[in-house]
Amino acid sequence: MRRIGRTDLSRVARPGPFVANTVVVACLGNLLLLVAIARVVGGGHAPVPPDDAGVWIMLGMVVADGVHTGITRRGLYVPSAMPSVAVTYGLLIVHGWVLAALVQAVPVLISSLARRDSVWRIAYTIGHYVLAFIAADVVLQVFGVRPERADNRELGAADLPAVLVAGIALVVVAQSIGWLLRASWRGVRPTTLAAEEIRSRFVAHGALIGLAPLIAVVAHANPWVLPLFAVPLYSLHLTTRVTFDREQEVRHDPLTGLPNRRLLLERGEGALRDAARRGKVALFLLDLHRFHEVNDTLGHLAGDRLLHQVGQRLLSVVGSDDTVARLGGDEFAVLVPHLDRVEHDCGPLAPEKIALSLARQVVEVLGEPFELDDLSLDIEVSIGVAIFPDHAGGMAGLLQYADVAMYLAKRLRSGVELYDPARDVNTREKLLLLGDLRRALDVHQVELHYQPKVSFTTGRVDGCEALVRWCHPDRGYISPEEFVHLAEETGLMPRLTRYVVDEALSQVARWHQEGIDVPVAVNV
């Protein structure tokens, strides 16, 4: 198994660029830092000015940040940048990039060792900070601001434009390096990642770097006041982290941690843009059979654990650049953005055959027993497949046609079906009505009317028959023949049946509590 550090390269979409990026950034950044330190020491100077109280106070602040990051295991790899960046950029403005990079390496080492990160990851993180600091230093030099290692220079108003542009350069370089690495991991364009994260990342880094000039000014005027910056730095870090967590929650399913419908659509639209000129994108929609039986028999906690296991199995079978999403309930989706690049054991195949082969692998993997509390559960799955641009030109169309194919697979019990317009019996009106019926079941708009059954001999009511009725919010009451037939055609009938039985049982229970015992018949 090929690895770099602790990273299994078989899980990387583009291992070549991933390794190249890691090696170049780690080696180049650390080599430049070591050479610069060697030149400082060779010139008879200490790497850290021993008589500058401000530098040592800043070093103590970044050490505290490293300990906090190591304990909380947050900070390096989320958009809420390490607060130490504000301190070290303040050092850079006054003393240059070498001292800033050396001091920034301290919290990186502390937090990374606490997390037991690999040597490659530590070297890469330090290297990417070094390259970003060098870019900021170059910008300052271009503007005529020349920080000196041993000179605690005063920052003037004329220097602020240069400091602002240099800070922007620092953020751009640091984030671009990270996006290049993660893009090779996921097999997407760096611009796709930038579009998802640019707001939260630049707001977090921009706010921290905006404090750097104030830190530089205070370090020159009265360095003993510097520890007071710990409170606003930590508050800013905490605020941006909470904002990031909320954005993650909006785009991810809280139960499984998988992307939700919103993030699936965002990534899908990006994949379609990338494949607009050439290439194909596949979308799978998955529906688990008899999942409600697990909930009803073993409880919702067991059902939640089953959904989590399903998500993990899906991740194990798809590629690293594919997206596995949970759409709600027992419905999942898989987005395959580079269908033409999927490798297959049988050699070159048509994209639709590759998609069907991958979907059948998913069916096979999910067909293996799931272990829940010493119970072995077997579940079945139906998958509908739609392909861009063969079937639709947008994500809305792909979702619609994959849904049609999924219900066809469910009705035929074939496991996997590729969308075929010739077999799509659904008109636009039927599809709209089907969506309305699903929502009606969710919000309990479907009603049961109870028709009494009267005995001819006694004239008394011997029971009731439950009749399903649906009052559409726009169309009024719809004929049961129309919507029941639609449910039978699309595979929604089991859900409608469970709904009717549950509602009838609930009504019988309420009548019993009121002292009314009457049999209720339900046609299933």
**Backbone CA torsion sign across 454, 455, 458, 461:** negative
Higher pLDDT, 117 or 136: 136
Per-residue pLDDT, 32: 95
In the structure, what pLDDT confidence band is assigned to residue 424 with cuts at 50, 70 and 90?
low
Using alpha carbons, select from 327, 293, 326 the residue that is nearest to residue 309.
Answer: 326
Quick one: average pLDDT of 406-410? Answer: 86
Per-residue pLDDT, 78: 44
Domain that holds residue 318: 261-423
Do 404 and 437 belong together in one domain?
A: no
Assign residue 495 the CATH number of its domain.
3.20.20.450
Looking at residue 474, its pLDDT comes to: 84
Range in 202-206, 228-232, 392-396 the model is least confident about? 202-206
Count CA atoms closer than 13 A to 152's CA, side-chain side: 18
Which range, of 122-126, 209-213, 353-357, 397-401, averages the lowest pLDDT? 209-213
Residues 205 and 320 in one domain: no
pLDDT score of 248 more than 50: yes
Question: Is 269 found in the same domain as 175?
Answer: no
For the chain, give the mean pLDDT: 83
Question: Is 52 inside any structural domain?
Answer: yes
Give tens-digit pLDDT for 346-391: 455 778 888 899 999 999 999 888 887 778 888 889 999 999 988 8
294/403 same-domain check: yes
Q: Do 301 and 418 share a domain, yes or no? A: yes
Q: Which helix (H) or strand (E) holds 450?
A: strand 446-454
Q: Which of 205-209, 371-375, 397-401 has the highest mean pLDDT?
A: 397-401
Give the Cα separation of 94 and 216 in Å (integer). Answer: 7
Last residue of one domain, picked from the residues 370, 393, 423? 423
d(CA 334, CA 89): 42
Q: Are residues 196 and 334 in the same domain?
A: no
Kindly report which listed range (88-92, 153-157, 274-278) carries the lowest average pLDDT score: 153-157
The upper half-sphere exposure of residue 20, i.e. CA atoms within 13 Å in the direction of its Cβ, equals: 7
For 72-81, what is the mean pLDDT? 48
In-domain check, residue 181 = yes
Residue 144, amino acid = G
**Is position 109 within any domain?**
yes
Residues 347 and 240 in one domain: no
Instruction: Produce one character per residue of 13-48: b if its CB has 16 or more CB atoms within 10 Å, e if not.
Output: bbbebbbebbeebbeebbebbeebeeebeeeeeeee
Given 251, 270, 288, which residue is the final one in a domain? 251
Residue 256 domain flag: no
Q: Are residues 372 and 415 in the same domain?
A: yes
- The 8-class DSSP code of residue 162 comes to H
Note whether 33 and 138 are same-domain residues: yes
Residue at 166 is within a domain: yes
* Domain assignment present for 366: yes
- Same domain? For 79 and 120 the reply is yes
| Amino acid 416: pLDDT | 93
**Shared domain check, 276 and 174:** no
- The answer to whether residues 434 and 492 touch, using CB atoms and an 8 Å cutoff, is yes
The pLDDT value recorded for residue 293 is 79
What pTM did the predictor assign?
0.62
Is 373 among the domain residues? Answer: yes
In sequence order, what DSSP letters do the residues of 281-324 get, joined into one string?
EEEEEEEETTHHHHHHHH-HHHHHHHHHHHHHHHHHHS-TTSEE
Amino acid 218: pLDDT: 86
> Looking at residue 49, what is its pLDDT?
83
Domain CATH code at residue 410: 3.30.70.270
**pLDDT > 90 in the chain, percent:** 20
By mean pLDDT, which of 9-18, 24-33, 447-456 is the weakest? Answer: 9-18
> Count of residues for the chain?
524
Mean pLDDT to the nearest integer, 441-469: 88
Lowest-pLDDT choice from 34-38, 68-72, 266-270, 437-441: 68-72
Q: Out of 63-67, 240-244, 380-384, pick the least confident.
A: 240-244
Domain count within the chain: 3
Task: Kindly list the distances between the CA atom of residue 51 and the CA atoms of 45, 55, 98, 151, in Å, as whole numbers in the listed order.
Answer: 12, 9, 17, 11
Q: Could you tell me if residue 145 is inside a domain?
A: yes
Per-residue pLDDT of 133-145, as tens digits, reads: 999 999 998 988 8
The reply to whether 76 and 190 lie within a common domain is yes
Q: Which of 400, 423, 446 is the last residue of a domain?
A: 423
Higher local confidence (pLDDT), 278 or 453? 453
